[in-house]
Homo-oligomer: A and B are copies of this chain.
Amino acid sequence: MIESKKPDAYVGTAVPRIEGHAKVTGAAEYVHNVRLPNMLHAKIHRSRVAHGRIVAIDTSAARALAGVHSVFTGEDVLRIIPDPYYGPAFHDQPILALGKVRHIGEPVAVVLASDPHVAEEAAALIEVEYEELPAVFDEVEALKSRAIVHDELRPAGTFPDLKHLKGRKDTNLALDFRLRRGDVEKAFAASDHVFEHTFKVQPVMHTPLEPMLSLAEPDGDGIVIHSATQMPSFVRIEIARLLGWSESQVRVKSGLLGGGFGAKVYIKLEALAAALALLTRRAVRVALTMEEQFYTITNHAATVRIKSGVQRDGRLTSRHCEIWWNGGAYADIGPRITQKSGFTAAGPYAIEHVHIDSYAIYTNLPPAGAMRGFGVPQLVWAYESHTDMIARALAMDPLAFRQLNALQEGQEHATGTVMRDAAIPQVLAELGERMKWQQPLVRSEGTIRRGRGIAIGIKASISPTTSVAMLNVAADGSATLYCNTIDMGQGSDTAMSQIAADTLKIPLQRIKVVRADTAVTPYDMGTLGSRSTFHMGHAVRLAGEDARAQLQAMAKALELPADTSIGDLFRRKHGMSAGNVIGVGNYTSSYEPVDPATGMSRNITPYWMTGGTGVEVEVDTQTGHVRINRLVSVADAGKVINPGIIATQLSGAAIMALGGAMTEEMQFSQGELTNGSLAYYKIPGMHDIPRVIENVIVESAQQSGPFGAKGVGESASFAVSPAIANAIEDAIGVRLTTLPLTPETVFRALREAEGRPLAKD
């Protein structure tokens, strides 16, 4: 209405990515490319024992190597940071080991040199003497083990719900989330059938192709940190806390990321880089190799036990879920995963009696944290395998069984939150349609057997969280968008520009996105949990509306027609092209705290994510090899901002989940990683990609979303592994309950089913 030339509406159209050209021409700037003047490179010496007291560290040989600038240990860090323990939920992780190490690969000392190769060579010369302590690696064992990873629990002071844990001793249980709805024991007794199964999920790595790195440089009485982070605002707050400084003294810059997937959230290398920069008063770069990432953060390995009561007609009456989350040596965000994913452990089903016990557990493995789906894929692996096993036992069609029990609009979820705009029935229906579920699958004889499977999962968004955006409209009607959302491949710069353009009613090309820089771009909780489209989308929309209101007020004050172009408006006001209008949008999602007695809340999420997967497989009974011929992802995206980007998001999530389902596994022997290299740790390659991938968007407007949109970045990752396991059972009649579904696992299970098991090696 202000701009005379009416632009097209961008929201809903497959606008090409605005950063695409820079990426394909190699011009895109990643943090990986940042070089600071007079920079030192840091290389880390890591623990070789899983649990032990540090008796002595001999750095003399490292120091003596020509070209070494300095060597630092945990004791040196204390000169800068008296209490150098960080973490989003617990302040339990030292910047460099202090007194003790808790997992193999833990950073113990750091060498700095102008030449990174010199630093690496010197790091290998450091000798550490340990007094070894008993260690524990399995999450279920850890609860009864005498090997105690942390002497005392140190929950972060900021979370009131963790305060009661402070100072707890002699336990590896960091957090115990309990949900109590109804009375499952009574309901089990009254059920026609009760099923109980246990499932296992292996540890895997996020494998961003740009490995983690952080650079820091002192800046007057402050510090500037360049970090490949998904959470610049959090890094700023946490570094300021560690240093005892004001937030305004800490400047955190991020950039385009070469993948994040939850690996680059909270603090990873930033505190170490900051401490080293302040110790040396020099710029310092801490960059991991691809392999070092294995020791830095993993997903949560987990054991999930589910017990369900079912009536003869297939109705689920009751469910008890127990989840043991293997958090590794440091809590990272594990306790929040335990709680937030714990909410939805019972699945997308209407069940009257639900008990959930979700345990965040310390072990002597590398720390586990957030990974695409924030615990939900582990849960869906369990509950959707369980679902098919029940349906099969009851001789019911697995789709019909799901449809019978699916949560409907307006029904109450186990937590007490009423379902709104969660397209569970629609996703199931679409899955049935796309998989042609009503037509029998053409089966094959011989050694190659065909099967198909489906699965569905839901996720609640982390809440409450805040996003703030600014839109600065220049006198020529072009605009700059300041937003901390990190474009790490998901296309957020494009989506946010679409929202800004439509709100301001200007052409998309006239919007420039400013990269995250906490001295510049306002607060955002982080780019994670599929929260940005909803939260930052709202903030950008509000900023645009604020700017437009100001432009309209300008037009009114100048007595100009409402359709005056922005350029003319400023020229008329200033007599020349001059001035700015700045719109601000500040959005916080709603949430109701959990009742500590029941673990329930009437509002656990601003929106629900629903993702379903269908697969058709061929299993080679002679080798155990599973080929996936077709993979259908169906996701509820609310109203779509950019269908082109969503399609590639769904493919990406499904393929990443496929890696975890089929091939990826960090293999440990007494806490020691035995395949810590991409030569032995197999991520999906071109030959592992399904022949046919279909991405289906169920567009059912999220009433509360910006333009009706919601997040979808994780949705296609939820249900891949159980859909495949379900298809394998459909093909060869064998049920697998442990991930990954490697040929060996399938072949062993087949032989076991035939009564001639293979010996374990």
Given contacts A248-B511, A520-B482, contact A159 B575 (CB under 8 A): yes
Chain A interface mostly: mixed
CB-defined contacts of A465 to chain B, threshold 8 Å? 578
A27 at the interface (CB under 8 A from B): yes
Q: Chain B residue with minimal CB distance to A466? A: B579
A75 at the interface (CB under 8 A from B): no
Q: Chain B residue with minimal CB distance to A220? A: B22
The A556-608 residues at the B interface (CB cut-off 8 A) are 571, 573-582, 584, 586, 588
Q: How far is the CA of A241 from the CA of B476 in the complex (A)?
A: 10
CB pair B248–A512 under 8 Å, yes or no, is yes
Q: Which of B220, B466, B579 contacts A523 (CB 8 A)?
A: B579
Question: Interface 1/0s, chain A 465-482, versus B by CB < 8 A?
Answer: 110101010111011101
Q: How far is the CA of A468 from the CA of B464 in the complex (A)?
A: 32
Q: Chain B residue with minimal CB distance to A281? A: B27
Given contacts A519-B514, A580-B468, contact A475 B575 (CB under 8 A): no
Q: How far is the CA of A468 from the CA of B582 in the complex (A)?
A: 9
Of A511, A523, A581, chain B has the most CB atoms within 10 Å of the CB of A523
Q: How far is the CA of A479 from the CA of B522 in the complex (A)?
A: 11
Identical chains bound together, number? 2
Q: Name the distance in Å between A497's Cβ and chain B's nearest Cβ.
A: 10
CB pair B468–A579 under 8 Å, yes or no, is yes
A158 at the interface (CB under 8 A from B): yes
The A31-64 residues at the B interface (CB cut-off 8 A) are 35, 37
Q: How far is the CA of A517 from the CA of B521 in the complex (A)?
A: 13
Q: Which of B248, B476, B512, B523 contacts A222 (CB 8 A)?
A: B512
Q: Chain B residue with minimal CB distance to A519? A: B514
Q: Chain B residue with minimal CB distance to A233? A: B578
CB-defined contacts of A509 to chain B, threshold 8 Å? 246
A160 at the interface (CB under 8 A from B): yes
A166 at the interface (CB under 8 A from B): no
CB pair B586–A574 under 8 Å, yes or no, is no
A655 at the interface (CB under 8 A from B): no
Q: Name the distance in Å between A277's Cβ and chain B's nearest Cβ.
A: 13
CB pair B237–A476 under 8 Å, yes or no, is yes
CB-defined contacts of A474 to chain B, threshold 8 Å? 236-237, 246-248, 523
A249 at the interface (CB under 8 A from B): yes
Q: How far is the CA of A249 from the CA of B474 in the complex (A)?
A: 11
CB-defined contacts of A514 to chain B, threshold 8 Å? 519-520
CB pair A574–B464 under 8 Å, yes or no, is yes
CB pair A475–B520 under 8 Å, yes or no, is no
A6 at the interface (CB under 8 A from B): no
CB pair A35–B35 under 8 Å, yes or no, is no
Q: How far is the CA of A704 from the CA of B288 in the complex (A)?
A: 57
CB pair A247–B478 under 8 Å, yes or no, is yes
Q: Which of B222, B247, B579 contacts A588 (CB 8 A)?
A: B579
A525 at the interface (CB under 8 A from B): yes
The A439-469 residues at the B interface (CB cut-off 8 A) are 464-466, 468
Q: How far is the CA of A470 from the CA of B521 in the complex (A)?
A: 11
Given contacts A158-B577, A246-B478, A512-B248, contact A21 B466 (CB under 8 A): no
Q: Chain B residue with minimal CB distance to A37? A: B35
CB-defined contacts of A519 to chain B, threshold 8 Å? 480, 512, 514
A761 at the interface (CB under 8 A from B): no
Q: How far is the CA of A468 from the CA of B520 in the complex (A)?
A: 15
CB pair A522–B582 under 8 Å, yes or no, is yes
A510 at the interface (CB under 8 A from B): yes
A399 at the interface (CB under 8 A from B): no
CB-defined contacts of A240 to chain B, threshold 8 Å? 476
A313 at the interface (CB under 8 A from B): no
CB pair A247–B579 under 8 Å, yes or no, is no
Q: Which of B237, B472, B588 contacts A522 (CB 8 A)?
A: B472
Of A479, A571, A574, chain B has the most CB atoms within 10 Å of the CB of A574
Given contacts A240-B476, A475-B237, A520-B520, contact A576 B158 (CB under 8 A): yes
Q: How far is the CA of A586 from the CA of B520 in the complex (A)?
A: 18
Of A464, A476, A576, chain B has the most CB atoms within 10 Å of the CB of A576
Given contacts A248-B510, A514-B519, contact A466 B574 (CB under 8 A): yes
| Shortest Cβ-Cβ A-B pairs, 7 listed | A246-B478, A523-B580, A248-B512, A248-B478, A247-B474, A158-B576, A520-B520
What are some 10 contacts across the A-B interface (CB < 8 A)? A35-B37, A158-B571, A158-B576, A237-B578, A246-B510, A246-B512, A247-B476, A466-B574, A468-B580, A522-B582
Q: Can you name 12 extra interface pairs (CB under 8 A) apart from A35-B37, A158-B576, A468-B580?
A: A21-B221, A158-B577, A159-B576, A222-B512, A233-B578, A246-B476, A247-B474, A465-B578, A470-B470, A474-B523, A579-B586, A582-B586
**Residue positions of A touching B, CB distance < 8 A:** 19, 21-22, 27, 35, 37, 158-160, 220-222, 233, 236-237, 240-241, 246-249, 251, 464-466, 468, 470, 472, 474-476, 478-480, 482, 509-512, 514, 517, 519-520, 522-523, 525, 571, 573-582, 584, 586, 588
